[in-house]
A and B are shown apart, each in its own frame.
Chain A
Amino acid sequence: MSDLAETLIPLTELRRNQPRFRGLEAGHLACLGCGQALAARLVTEAAGPDVVVANATGCLEVFTTAWPQSAWRVPWLHSLFENAAAVASGMEAALKAQGKSSKVLAFGGDGGTFDIGFQALSGMLERGHNVLYVCFDNEAYMNTGVQRSSSTPHAAMTTTSPPGKVRMGKRHLKKDIISIIAAHNIPYAATASVAYPSDIRKKVRRALEIDGPAFINIHSPCPLGWGHDGSLSIEVARLAVECGLFPVVELERGALTGAMPLRAPRPVTDYLKPQQRFAHLFQNDPRAKEELEHLQALADHNIETYGLRGERPDPLDSAGADTVRRGGVRWA
């Protein structure tokens, strides 16, 4: 034990030697392979220490702040489920009145963003608050035990959209949140994926350079809710992008200004197969075949709409965007 004690490095020194600032520290209680925890860390790394965070109720709030501990190194406030955007609006108004320049971030899950907090978010965007709202989209109410949200993909199984004799999972489509957000004509709206950390960092920095509301929806796998191994989170997230079901795009003032091209679009089944939530689509059932066709059509539609079909290898396409390359564009 004495040997161990001698090798202990004080926390302050560890922090000083950390390559970059982390707003969300290790030691929180997220599940293995949690996409949201990774995404939140990447966002706070890119945003830096001069921020104030309003966090909606959800997994992120719960696994980071089990009193008397907290994993946050930035000022952080959790109020309620549906008001993160409004609380952030108030913080921004206050900082503006005080002549301070700290950036305000609002964090919510897809339930808190697409559903219950949607009105407050729309109000925040319409009023032009200088806030970056980040949605960690894991496509269901994971904190309460995997119930369907309006972000749950079509045909996915959740505890409130179970497949059965007369149902094949969720009957409705995933809400097209980014189009709705972009329709507010805000300066910057984007989607991102935890499979592309550099892209997340770049988008957060871009969003924070802007004076006005910005929104980023980050696709964040939930191994528990999606039913895949925790070690596969990045791979599954990457497949969602590569098949076209989760397009990675940027919209400025409502107009499409960027999209991550797909080097070679994959069939949706490559993405769906590793996930238990789509297992019923791979049974010998004519309805399953129909739903798979439906999902492929949705992916094709995305590829068409956003012009995702890349014609030749591009360093920033779906295969190259986050490969490590010395002196390259990784830290863009």
Chain B
Amino acid sequence: MLQALEGSQAIAQAVALCRPQVVAAYPITPQTHIVEGLARLIADGKLQCELVSVESEFSAASVALGAVAAGSRAYTASASQGILLMSEVLYNIAGLRVPLVMTCANRAVSAPLSIWNDQQDSMAVRDAGWIQLYCADNQEAVDTTIQAYRIAERTELPVMVCVDGFTLTHTLEPIEIPPQEQVDAFLPPFRFARVLDPLHPVSSGTLVSPEYYTEARHAHHQALLRAKDEIITADSDWAVLTGRASGGLLEVNGPDDARVAILTLGSVFGTLLDAREEYPQLGPVKLIKLRAFRPFPVEALQQVCVGLSDVIVLERALSPGSGGIVGAEVRAALTELSAAPRVHNFAVGLGGRDVPLDIYPRLLAAIQPASPVRFAILDVELDKLPVEDR
């Protein structure tokens, strides 16, 4: 049954359906509603769970780490400064191969202070060794959260479910919350192989010399590469149960004969779908939704880009002094194609700047010149800047 739910409330319900035993979090906008929702479910006795209201995001991630290591399914959520504060723990969780699931309610990073949406926070921790899945709408956020637990626990890798702050977390949508039996059928009870058990003591997180560190990093990298299969099967198995798929590693939408594609992550995908309907006269365009950013689906991306002349990468973060983050990776992946499409890279919607429908014709117009746009930030209003900063 479809219910009109705020994204955060829907995510809270999805987390509860996964029966976590420990939830640890620290308040930060726009993540807070998720944990508030969980707190209410716990207060009403609908979820049996230890809620640990910690004194920082650093401890939120640390508590969740300890809980999983001790054998409990756990959850945390954060955004922006919170993600950066816990970044040391995020690397550690991944290195310890602790299968934690968290939500990142994507938000810009200070300074200047902005509470609004972009994806700089999750992009800043892209190398932490987590699986990162980006959600285009709130139904995907629900389904991906549930899938994330199965992916994490099968691969022993943590999963960050990235959901655009406000745009998704604070927006009401008609959402199908799956029944508990369906989730139970999909997600078996958590069993952690290296659980801290006094009857079978293990030492975890030890010091390694240069003789072993390289191998540990190799194993971690390989595990992430192998996780692609789990991401695909989790989505297809979930689709068999519920009839809903979220796109596996990535999803392509559009006519086969299109020569131009626009690739994006998160909720901008929905904007582009609407925009394409709004401007049918602009010809066939494929829309690519990159769901998995880590592991980066190089082969799947190459496959869907065969025959394209132009790929426009739209992203909501940047690496100052370099340019696009996703754009650079897409460009690198596509250079291996024999007839590589031109890659144009734009940053949009930074710090909550609106991404309107008319971005679609403007993008298609911007790639008309023969030379590809290596990187540009769209909608910069230079007259707001002092002359020397333009």
Contacts and interface: CB of A to CB of B under 8 A. Distances in A.
A24 B206 CA distance: 15
A94 B96 CA distance: 18
A74 B201 contact: yes
Contacts of A62: 207
A64 B205 CA distance: 11
B201 A120 contact: no
A318 interface: no
Contacts of A54: 66
A86 B55 CA distance: 9
Nearest to A95: B70
A75 B202 contact: yes
Interface-central residue, A80, A86, A123, by most chain B CB under 10 Å: A86
B59 to A, nearest CB: 4
B287 interface: no
A119 interface: yes
Interface-central residue, B50, B72, B203, by most chain A CB under 10 Å: B203
Q: How large is the interface on A (under 10, 10 to 19, 20 to 34, 35 or more residues)?
A: 35 or more
A66 B74 contact: no
Contacts of B207: 61-62, 65-67
Contacts of B59: 83, 85-86, 89, 119-120, 123
Given A66-B207, A75-B197, A82-B58, A93 B52 contact: yes
Contact of B66 (A51, A67, A79, A119): A79
A45 to B, nearest CB: 15
B198 interface: yes
A229 to B, nearest CB: 27
Interface string A81-103: 01101111111111111100010
Contact of B203 (A72, A95, A96, A122): A72
A91 B212 contact: no
Contacts of B89: 79-80, 83
A76 B198 CA distance: 9
A50 B198 contact: yes
A97 to B, nearest CB: 4
A52 interface: yes
Nearest to B55: A123
A178 interface: no
A297 to B, nearest CB: 36
Interface residues of B, number: 43
Interface of A: 49-52, 54-55, 61-62, 64-68, 70, 72-80, 82-83, 85-98, 102, 119-120, 122-123, 126-127
A55 B53 CA distance: 22
Interface-central residue, A62, A72, A97, by most chain B CB under 10 Å: A97
Nearest to A124: B59
A252 to B, nearest CB: 24
Nearest to A23: B201
A75 B22 contact: no
B81 to A, nearest CB: 16
Nearest to A65: B206
Interface of B: 21-22, 24, 48-50, 52-56, 58-59, 62-72, 74, 88-89, 92, 96, 196-198, 200-209, 212
Nearest to A62: B207
A123 B54 contact: yes
Contact of B201 (A67, A76, A79, A85): A76
Contact of B62 (A61, A76, A79, A126): A79
- State the majority secondary structure of interface residues on B: mixed
A94 B58 contact: no
A262 B69 CA distance: 44
Contacts of B63: 86-87, 89-90, 93
B201 A97 contact: no
A55 B205 CA distance: 9
21 contacts: A49-B198, A66-B207, A66-B209, A67-B206, A73-B201, A75-B203, A76-B203, A80-B62, A82-B58, A83-B62, A86-B54, A86-B63, A86-B66, A89-B24, A90-B63, A90-B67, A90-B69, A93-B72, A119-B55, A123-B54, A127-B52
Contact of B196 (A49, A91, A93, A126): A91
Contacts of B24: 89-90, 93
A86 B62 contact: yes
B198 A88 contact: no
The 10 closest A-B pairs by CB, nearest first: A90-B66, A86-B62, A123-B55, A94-B72, A65-B206, A90-B63, A78-B205, A75-B196, A97-B21, A87-B66
Nearest to B52: A93
Given A78-B205, A86-B58, A94 B198 contact: no
Given A49-B198, A61-B207, A120 B55 contact: yes
A97 B58 CA distance: 22
Given A51-B198, A89-B52, A120-B55, A65 B67 contact: no
A78 B206 contact: yes
Interface-central residue, B24, B63, B67, by most chain A CB under 10 Å: B63
Contacts of A122: 55
Given A80-B89, A97-B21, A127-B53, A52 B62 contact: no
Contact of A90 (B58, B65, B96, B208): B65
B66 A91 contact: yes
A83 B205 CA distance: 13
Nearest to B54: A123
